[in-house]
């Protein structure tokens, strides 16, 4: 193999590895959100939405943006009405 082919193969392997890493991190974030929600829930059957106390946006727990909420910022709501009454607005991505 010549030098260009070797570099191309190395770059392809690096891109594949980065893609796999990104997928793994995404799964870890989602698992982290589920852990956060479970820790915050007072009444599991009644929890419908999660939000951040800083950005005032509420999400479906499955929203990818909700997975990025830090544990110390996480708040839960039993209804959209409750979230709105506390000054939150719905996420434009998951549209809860």
pLDDT of residue 1: 66
Cβ pair 55, 83 in contact under 8 A: no
Calpha distance 4→21 (Å, rounded): 26
pLDDT, greater one: 13 or 74: 74
We find that the CATH architecture of domain 3-90 is 3-Layer(aba) Sandwich (3.40)
| Mean per-residue pLDDT of the chain | 81
Question: Model confidence over 23-68: pLDDT tens digits?
Answer: 776 666 666 666 666 665 544 555 689 999 899 999 998 899 988 8
Q: What is the pTM of this model?
A: 0.54
Which sequence spans correspond to the domains of the chain? 3-90
């Amino acid at each position: 193999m010549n030098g260009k082919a070797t570099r191309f193969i190395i770059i392809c392997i690096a891109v594949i590895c980065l893609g796999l890493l990104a997928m793994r991190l995404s799964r870890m974030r989602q698992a982290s959100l589920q852990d956060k929600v479970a820790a915050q829930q007072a009444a599991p059957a009644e929890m419908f939405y999660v939000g951040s106390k800083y950005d005032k946006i509420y999400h479906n727990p499955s929203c990818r943006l909700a997975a990025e909420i830090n544990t110390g910022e996480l708040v839960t709501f039993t209804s959209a009405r409750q979230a709105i009454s506390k000054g939150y607005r719905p996420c434009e991505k998951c549209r809860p």
